[in-house]
Amino acid sequence: MTYLKNLFTPQQNRALVSMLVLTVVCSGIALSSAVFSQASVTQKLYGVNRSGGEFGAHALPGALGTDYIYPTSPDEFKPFAAAGMTLVRVPFLWERVQTEKNGPLVASEVAQLAAVLDAAGTHKLQVILDLHNYGRYYGQALTEGDMSSFADVWAKLAAHFGSHPALYGFELMNEPHDMPGEGKVWNKLAQAATDAIRNQTTKPWVLVPGYSWQAARFWKDNNKDLRVTDPANKVIYTAHIYFDHDNSGVYSRKVEEAKPDPTKVAEMAKPYLDWLAENQVLGMFTEYGIPRDAAWQPVLKTFLKLIDAHPNVVGGTYWASGAWWGDYPLSVEPADDGVVKPQFVQLLGYPTHAFPAVLPKVAKPGDVVGFNGNPTLFVVTKEGLYPFAVFDTYQNYRRQNPKATLRILKSSVGYTLRMQPIEDGGGQ
C-alpha cells in the first residue's frame, strides 16, 4: 500500500482505508469439498486485463504506436501490484506475431511481448498471454483443417516464452465463436494447441476458453464436448461474464432501464460454476466488468465474493485497464488527476490470497492428510475433514461447555465446522 500513499491525495487515502477494513468472521473454518486431478494451487489470483495489443484489428498487422500498443513500461503495472494484484492478462493478435500460418514469428512482436513480461515481472506480477482472435485468423473462422497451424503458433510461442519467470500461462484464444463444427471443432483445436505447448514446456498453465464467447451464462449449452487432456495436469477452463441484458459487456441500456440487481449474479454464473464442480476441474474468469455508475457497484462486489468462495475458481482478471481506453466506462485505468474509479475500489477488497485447502483425490475415514504444502494436518471422518487444531479447540471448549458438540454443516462452498450446544441440533 506504500505506492497508494503516493498515488492518491490524503483525503482519498483516508476514504480508501475506511473502505478496506477487513472483517474476520470467526464462526467456522471453511474447507473445500471439491476433488481435482490437477497440479497444486495455493493462491486465489486476482488482477486485470492490460489492453492495447489487441487494438487496431482493422489494420493488420498495423503500426505499433499508431494502431496498437503494448504495456512495456514497469510503471504501468505499479498501481495494480500496489493494490495486491498479482495477475495480468495481456491480449495480442495472432496476425501480428505470425503474419502467415506456419511462418516464423515476427521478431519485433516477440520482443514487445518479452518486454511486457519483463515489465510485469519487475512488480512480481504474472502474465497470461491471451491470443485475442475470437476463433479467427485474418477474419476467417478456424476449422478442423487449421489444427496444425493453430498448434504451430502455440508451439513457437511456448518455445520463446515458456520458461519466462513472469509467465503464468497461455490462454489459447479469446472468445471463440461461430466456427464451422462449433464446440466439437474448438475442442480439437484446443487439444492440438495444448499438445504443442506441452511438447515445448510443462511450466505454464494452459487456459482453455469456453466456446461461444466464453459466456458463463450459457456454458453448459455451448461446451458439452469441452475437455482437454494435459499430461502436466495444469489446465484452467476460462469464462467471461458481464451483467448487462445480453452478456455483451456493452452496457447499452441506461442504469434506470438496466436495473442492476446483485441478487441475480449467482444465477448468471451458475452454469459455468456447476460445470466446473461436476467435472472436477479448475476455472478462472478472465473477463468481467461493470460501468462506473454507483448502481452497478454492488453487482461487482457480489460477484467477487461469489468467486472468492468457490473452491473450483482459481481467481480472475477484471476487464479492463490500458493507457488508450480514454473514457471507456468499464476502465479502471488510474486517472491523471488521481481520482480512483469505483470499480477499482471494489477490486481493492480482493487482493491475491491463499487458496482454500482441497480434498485429496483418495481419502477414507481415518486417513491423515495435508494440503498443497500446508503444514496443517487434517483427519478424514465419514462426514468430512476435521483439522487437528479444531480437535484441540473442541476439547478445551467441551471442558467449559460439557453439552457442546462439533457439528459439520455442508454447503455449496464446502464444510463449515461450528461449535454448538447439543440441544440446538448438534450430534455426538
- Nearest CA to 357 among 33, 27, 28, 25? 33
Determine the pLDDT at residue 225.
87
Determine the pLDDT at residue 403.
52
Q: 352 versus 189: which is more confidently predicted?
A: 189
Mark whether 26 and 102 lie in a shared domain: no
Q: 31 versus 220: which is more confidently predicted?
A: 220
User: Domain boundary residue among 354, 373, 399?
Assistant: 354
d(CA 332, CA 321): 5
Determine the pLDDT at residue 223.
97
Confidence of residue 70 (pLDDT cuts 50, 70, 90): very high
Render pLDDT for 339-373 as a digit per residue (tens, 0 to 9): 789 999 899 989 998 875 443 444 455 555 443 33
Where do we find the cell 520458461? 163
Active-site annotation holder among 54, 76, 109, 175: 175
- Bond before 320 cis per omega within 30 degrees: yes
Q: What is the DSSP letter of 174?
A: S
Confidence of residue 378 (pLDDT cuts 50, 70, 90): very low
Mark whether 325 and 416 lie in a shared domain: no
CA torsion 278-282-287-289 (nearest 10°) is: 70
What average pLDDT does the structure give for the chain? Answer: 81
Confidence of residue 118 (pLDDT cuts 50, 70, 90): very high
Q: Is 257 a catalytic residue?
A: no
Domain hosting 413: range is 1-31+363-428
Mark whether 384 and 340 lie in a shared domain: no
d(CA 279, CA 205): 18
Q: 139 versus 356: which is more confidently predicted?
A: 139
- CB atoms under 10 Å from CB of 256, counted, come to 7
Stretch 376-390: mean pLDDT: 46
Q: What is the DSSP letter of 184?
A: H
Mark whether 143 and 6 lie in a shared domain: no
Determine the pLDDT at residue 408.
38
User: Domain boundary residue among 313, 333, 354?
Assistant: 354
Mark whether 275 and 372 lie in a shared domain: no
Stretch 124-132: mean pLDDT: 98
Active-site annotation holder among 76, 109, 287, 333: 287
Query: In the chain, pLDDT over 90 holds for what percent of residues?
Result: 65
Q: Check pLDDT > 90 for residue 420.
A: no
Q: Check pLDDT > 60 for residue 393.
A: no
CA 321 to chain centre: 15
**Number of independent structural domains in the chain:** 2
Given a contact cutoff of 8 angstroms between Cβ atoms, the answer to whether 31 and 384 are in contact is: yes
Q: Is 287 a catalytic residue?
A: yes
Task: At 12, list the grid cell.
Answer: 482519498
User: Domain boundary residue among 325, 354, 383?
Assistant: 354
d(CA 330, CA 390): 44
- Nearest CA to 295 among 334, 331, 343? 343
Helical H segments across 1-77, by residue range: 2-7, 10-19
Determine the pLDDT at residue 228.
97
- Bond before 262 cis per omega within 30 degrees: no
Q: Check pLDDT > 70 for residue 150.
A: yes
Confidence of residue 311 (pLDDT cuts 50, 70, 90): confident
Determine the pLDDT at residue 138.
98
Kind plus residue range of the DSSP H or E element containing 171? strand 167-171
Q: What is the DSSP letter of 204?
A: S
Stretch 393-403: mean pLDDT: 51
Mark whether 210 and 131 lie in a shared domain: yes
Stretch 4-14: mean pLDDT: 36
Determine the pLDDT at residue 270.
97
Mark whether 266 and 320 lie in a shared domain: yes
Which CATH number covers residue 316?
Answer: 3.20.20.80
Determine the pLDDT at residue 364.
54
Render pLDDT for 238-278 as a digit per residue (tens, 0 to 9): 999 999 999 899 999 999 899 999 999 999 999 999 999 89
Mark whether 3 and 149 lie in a shared domain: no
Mark whether 159 and 144 lie in a shared domain: yes
d(CA 234, CA 206): 6
Mark whether 172 and 133 lie in a shared domain: yes
CB-count exposure of residue 267 (10 Å: 0-12, 13-18, 19+): exposed
Q: Check pLDDT > 70 for residue 107.
A: yes
Mark whether 237 and 333 lie in a shared domain: yes
Mark whether 299 and 337 lie in a shared domain: yes
Q: Check pLDDT > 80 for residue 5.
A: no
